[in-house]
Amino acid sequence: MSAPTLAWLAAPQGGWPALGRPGGRPAWQLALFVLALSLPAAAQVPPAVAASAVRPVIALRVALVGTMGQQAVLVIDGGAPRGLKAGESLRGVRLVSVGASDAVIEVEGQRHTLVMGAAPQDLAGINRAAAAGGGPRQIVLQGDARGHFTTPGSINGRGVQFLVDTGATVIAIGKSEADRLGLPYQQGQRVGLRTANGEAVGWRVSLTSVRIGEVEIYNVDAVVQPAEMPFILLGNSFLTRFQMKRENDTLTLDRRF
């Protein structure tokens, strides 16, 4: 009997359907099933073995150890450092973008932000959490000596640096940073802005995705302003999606919806 026939005969998940009743397998399939039961144990292929024989090897732990121009240097499952350019893949890890100190990767359709020098991300644990409860839902930030909360993250898959600003109505982005991110802000609605340097004209945009750590929010309002900014201000168009709690120098954001 050929291997494809044996693969078909392997019991599907949840066991074999009730046989011999209306809606069950036709007689010729019943005969094949009986024949399979009579084969020696070594000739039958357990479902788990058959699945593992064709399942691609997927990385479980990935760390960013450096950047070289347009390349991110990754250590995958403790192996030797390997350089990848945006769009390239290795062991199921696809590099989406690379910044000065972070990189965005994609594994099995899910994107993850890696920070240079941080501990390797346990992608297996992250994916289990996502499957069980719709993905990670909490962000924990540590304040600096001045009480400010800054964090790396990504906008539309490209690495950025955020500064939490509860006084900002929406996410605020400087024009040069918006250009780097490739945002089509000039197609957005023009809005008047009040800044520390007086009034200015900016552009309202909608960000496809905003990610911090493993938490990603979609369709987030933002404004692009002409002034240069050292950080992207993480305003309330993002923050109101969370329940915020501050204890000393720790800010915890628990996703509400």
Rounded Cα–Cα distance for residues 257 and 137 (Å): 9
Cα dihedral 66, 69, 72, 78, rounded to 10, equals -40
pLDDT value for 30: 35
pLDDT value for 127: 52
pLDDT value for 28: 35
Cα dihedral 184, 188, 194, 195, rounded to 10, equals 0
Instruction: Tell me the CA distances in angstroms from 96 to 5, 7, 65, one per residue in order.
Output: 40, 36, 16
pLDDT value for 91: 85
Alpha helices in 192-254 (DSSP H): 236-239
Tell me if 163 sits within 8 A of 117, measured CB to CB.
Answer: no
For the chain, what is the total number of helices (H) and then of strands (E)?
6, 18
- The per-residue pLDDT string of the chain (257 residues; one tens digit each, 9 = 90 and over) reads 443 333 333 334 444 344 334 444 444 343 333 333 333 444 444 444 344 344 445 557 888 888 888 899 999 888 899 999 999 998 888 999 888 777 888 887 777 778 776 667 766 655 554 444 456 789 999 999 899 999 999 998 899 999 999 999 999 999 999 999 999 999 889 999 877 777 889 999 999 899 999 899 988 999 999 988 999 999 999 999 999 999 999 999 999 87
Instruction: Tell me the CA distances in angstroms from 202 to 94, 139, 168, one per residue in order.
Output: 35, 29, 14
User: In 3-state terms, what secondary structure has residue 48?
Assistant: helix
Tell me if 224 sits within 8 A of 154, measured CB to CB.
Answer: no
> Could you tell me if residue 43 is left (phi over 0), alpha (psi between -120 and 50 degrees) or otherwise beta?
alpha
Tell me if 175 sits within 8 A of 169, measured CB to CB.
Answer: no
pLDDT value for 63: 86
pLDDT value for 55: 43
Instruction: Tell me the CA distances in angstroms from 234 to 12, 25, 116, one per residue in order.
Output: 48, 58, 21
Q: What is the 3-state secondary structure (H, E, C) of 115-173?
A: ECCCCCEEHHHHHHHHHHHCCCCEEEEECCCCCCCEEEEEECCEEEEEEECCCCCCEEE
Tell me if 181 sits within 8 A of 171, measured CB to CB.
Answer: no
Distance from first CA to last CA of the chain, Å, rounded?
53
pTM of the model: 0.51
pLDDT value for 193: 86
